[in-house]
C-alpha cells in the first residue's frame, strides 16, 4: 500500500472535496481519499499494483482538477 499527497490548487469548497473523494469509487485499487479544501490537498491511499499516480492525476483532471504530487 502507498499513501501520497497531491496539491489540488483549484479545490475551493466542500463540493470539490466530495467530488475528489468520490474518485475512490471509480478507480480500482484506491482504498481511501481524504481531501481538504482549506489546504487544497488530497491524500490518497492506494494499492500500487492496481493503480498508478498517473491514473490518479488523470482521473482528477477528468473531474476538472489539477493534482500535483507532493514530494
DSSP reduced 3-state for 68: strand
Give the whole-angstrom CA distance, residue 48 versus residue 45: 9
At residue 35, the pLDDT reads: 96
DSSP reduced 3-state for 55: helix
Query: Could you tell me the residue range of the domain that residue 38 belongs to?
Result: 2-69
At residue 71, the pLDDT reads: 78
Taking the model in full, what pTM does it have? Answer: 0.91
The domain that holds 22 is classified in CATH as 3.30.70.100
Give the whole-angstrom CA distance, residue 40 versus residue 68: 11
What is the pLDDT averaged over residues 48-65?
96
At residue 6, the pLDDT reads: 97
Number of structural domains found in the chain: 1
Q: Which candidate, 30, 37, 41, places its Cα nearest to that of 3?
A: 30
At residue 57, the pLDDT reads: 96
Amino acid at each position: 500500500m502507498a499513501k501520497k499527497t497531491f496539491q489540488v490548487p483549484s479545490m475551493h469548497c466542500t463540493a470539490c472535496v466530495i467530488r475528489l473523494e468520490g474518485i475512490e469509487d471509480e478507480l480500482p485499487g484506491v482504498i481511501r481519499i481524504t481531501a481538504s479544501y482549506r489546504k487544497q490537498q488530497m491524500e490518497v491511499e492506494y494499492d500500487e499494483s492496481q493503480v498508478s499516480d498517473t491514473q490518479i492525476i488523470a482521473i482528477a483532471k477528468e473531474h476538472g482538477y489539477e493534482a500535483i504530487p507532493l514530494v
